[in-house]
Structure 1
Amino acid sequence: MEVSATSAAGRSVVAHIFSEFEENRFHTAYVTNSESNSVSAFGIGDRGALSVVQDPVVGCGDDPRAIVAAPDGRTVYVSDTGANHISAYRVGTGGTLSCLGTQIPTGGDDPFGLAVAPDGRWLYVADIASNAVSVFTLRPDGIPAMPKVYASGATSPRGIAVHPDGRFVYVSHGRPMPDTEPGRLTVLAVQQDGSLRLLSRKPIEIGLSGAMIAIPRNGRFLYVGAQRSDEIHGFRIESDGTLTPVPHSPFRAPGFPEGVAATPDGRFVYAAGQKDGAGGIHGFAVDRYGSLTPVPHSPFKPGTSQVGIAITSDGRHLYTSGDDSTPTAESSIYGFAIDQSGALHEVPHSPLATGGDAPAFQSVAII
């Protein structure tokens, strides 16, 4: 009887833990609204359908641009570009957000792109106006500690990404406006203490105005947008972190490609075109050498302005931020299912208004 009672109690505990896990398991997409100083949250349901989680969260930071989630999904970080700060948000039940602590200065000017180390120890920030990368140590409670600042290796750093093994950081450079600025890509090695060291003093040329960077989970290839030259540049990542162009790179992606994302399995790459009236989403299949070929029916949602872009961890759904095609150009989130060929199919309740204004660079994150 004692064994039976103990087993029953054990089953009760397990059932409670499983129930609690099920209650808190969710997928959520977040969108920053730069002109309304807010962050919007959307639930992702069956077939990728979108639903509003809460009213846009305001009061945590000014001019929010890039957004990224910690690997454990408990915290979200936002670059407050105009305020030279980073804001942290706690993720609550059902994906709700609340401000976590105060705004934290980056130590640089105009924080732009964001990336988090795969082990969750460091937060990397591209400071576009000071040609630097700020590195925050992330405390156990998710709050970033005061950063250290390192040269990015070129002028106007914007996009930033970390290799899946955490050993290298890649930074794109170049402003798209008001003047055309040559795009450049630099590689920084991550030291054991979290500091950064430039691997090469000579940046890699990547067309005009470098944008977002995508690295599939397998870490074999890197893709970066060049907005002004309407291109995606592809590179093979060598074992020492250096980059070699893939065959036939760069690849055409008309419409001012600002956002770039890759499916976790590395089979597909997508680029969000930001140019009003000429944008949309370009989809590409990746061959074994890293070269890109347009998928069937690409581009998707042509003519719309698409800016931020992110893909769910299972690779089944893709979400973008931008303006819809109505006369009022409402800021919205778009959702798509990715089929076996890489083609996109809009999910139920897409697009949904963000409730804010002007999603900007790297303005979509998914937990």
Structure 2
Amino acid sequence: MDRSGEPRAYIGSFTSAGGRGITTAAVDPKTGALTALSVTAAEDPSYLALAPSAGVLYAVNETERGAVSAFRTTGAGLAPLGAAVRVGGSGPTHLSLTGRRLLTANYTSGSVSSLPLAADGAPAGPSHVLSHQGSGPDADRQEGPHAHQVLPDPTGRWVLSVDLGTDSVRVCALDPATGELRVHTETAMRAGTGPRHLAFHPEGEVAYVLHELEPQVTACRWNAASGRLEPVGEVPVASGGASAAVRAYPSAVVASPDGRFVWAAVRGADTIATLSLADEPGRPRLTAAVGCGGDWPRDLAVDPSGTRLYAANERSGDVTWFDVDPLTGQPHRAGSLAVPAASCVVLG
């Protein structure tokens, strides 16, 4: 919900591909339906992060020069909170908040930036940029590091960065005073799988790492006391019935608030995979794969009740919402909102 108490959705887009910026939409609390309220200009705001208590929305500007923009949330839209700020890396694809810091994963430069936040929530230039090192076997996609996601663990003690180019997840310590990031451990994923994003189980002891270069999720045990991530098994997120001529490129992974399901968006196949956690959190099973309602699902969001799922379909230019079956976790399409070049959807 925004500061007025009304539920809102914020939708990022690629302006370089015909998107309009950031769309603010009302969310019907009974049906989950989206109604567009306004559009706010921003340059390639491909990923968003919301600080509800501060009433501030942050967006990466996924460009070669790399920047972040901040906006004050209002009842009907967004108001810019200062000018865009350079992040010290190129092609930022993800951002998250921890304490009084904004973190960005800079895909093109293969780095992670730590930016301080002022009392009003406005970001300043980076206090530290951590450059990743390494490569992978895919010469086209893994010629060097490509940080694709950065986020705090559920305790807020650690910062995890997921790197598609190095087939690894780095666990970092963040100095709250200086913003410096220091690599604590690095967990190797299977070579050539291209880890892209991860999501934590609500209980905080398991993480699900989604791979872009192979349609797989790796379940990992997470030890917050030692800051260690341990892979324990893989599960596919694309059904064997998919056409062999269509390569699958998984993009986003989310866990249900009640800890019973994990969903993964799969581009190419244009599906949403449902993984059941009925056996145990560390042993997900693929139980269904349904159409995403459009083309090239880049992002997923689940509402706080776990009863609805939203997919940002980039190439078809829409956000589609689904009702979630409470017994099986399978999504059922309920409607869509046209948003050209949609890249991300955040509920708040």
State the TM-score, normalized to the length of structure 2.
0.84
Contact 1:153 1:203 in 2 (8 A): no
Q: Which residue among 52, 67, 74 is the counterpart of 2:48?
A: 67
Check 1:302–1:37 CA distance in 2 against 1; reply closer, same or farther (3 A cut): closer
Task: Tell me the CA shift for residue 146 of structure 1.
Answer: 1.8
Task: Name stretches of at least 5 consecutive residues in structure 1 with no aligned partner.
Answer: 1-20, 175-180, 324-328
Check 1:28–1:152 CA distance in 2 against 1; reply closer, same or farther (3 A cut): farther
Q: Distance between the aligned counterparts of 2:295 and 2:187, measured in 1? A: 37
Contact 2:26 2:37 in 1 (8 A): no
Asked if residue 41 in structure 1 is aligned to residue 24 in structure 2, the reply is yes
Q: Which amino acid aligns with 1:228?
A: L
Asked if residue 93 in structure 1 is aligned to residue 75 in structure 2, the reply is yes
Task: Tell me the CA shift for residue 336 of structure 1.
Answer: 1.6
Higher RCO by CA contacts (8 Å cutoff, separation 6 or greater): 1
Q: Distance between the aligned counterparts of 1:253 and 1:273, measured in 2? A: 7
Asked if residue 318 in structure 1 is aligned to residue 309 in structure 2, the reply is yes
Contact 1:185 1:206 in 2 (8 A): no
Q: Distance between the aligned counterparts of 2:210 and 2:203, measured in 1? A: 20
SS at 2:30 equivalent: helix
Q: Distance between the aligned counterparts of 1:24 and 1:359, measured in 2? A: 25
Q: Distance between the aligned counterparts of 1:153 and 1:242, measured in 2? A: 19
**Aligned match of 1:196:** 181
Contact 1:182 1:208 in 2 (8 A): no
Task: Tell me the CA shift for residue 344 of structure 1.
Answer: 1.3
State the TM-score, normalized to the length of structure 1.
0.80
Deviates more, 1:187-196 or 1:81-90: 187-196
> Which is richer in strand?
2
> Which is richer in helix?
1
Q: Which residue among 259, 265, 271 is the counterpart of 1:266?
A: 259
Q: Which residue among 242, 251, 254 is the counterpart of 2:235?
A: 251
Task: Tell me the CA shift for residue 203 of structure 1.
Answer: 4.2
Q: Which residue among 146, 149, 155 is the counterpart of 1:159?
A: 149
**Aligned match of 2:218:** 233
**Aligned match of 2:116:** 137
Q: Which residue among 343, 346, 351 is the counterpart of 2:333?
A: 346
Asked if residue 126 in structure 1 is aligned to residue 105 in structure 2, the reply is yes
Q: Distance between the aligned counterparts of 1:200 and 1:168, measured in 2? A: 11
Q: Which residue among 283, 290, 296 is the counterpart of 1:291?
A: 283
Asked if residue 223 in structure 1 is aligned to residue 208 in structure 2, the reply is yes
Q: Distance between the aligned counterparts of 1:223 and 1:86, measured in 2? A: 27
Q: Which residue among 159, 170, 180 is the counterpart of 1:169?
A: 159
Task: Tell me the CA shift for residue 222 of structure 1.
Answer: 1.1
Check 1:22–1:299 CA distance in 2 against 1; reply closer, same or farther (3 A cut): closer
Aligned sequence identity (%): 24
**Aligned match of 1:282:** 273
Contact 1:212 1:225 in 2 (8 A): yes
Q: How many residues align?
A: 320
Task: Name stretches of at least 5 consecutive residues in structure 2 with no aligned partner.
Answer: 135-144, 239-247
Q: Which amino acid aligns with 2:271?
A: G
Asked if residue 336 in structure 1 is aligned to residue 322 in structure 2, the reply is yes
Q: Which amino acid aligns with 2:249?
A: F
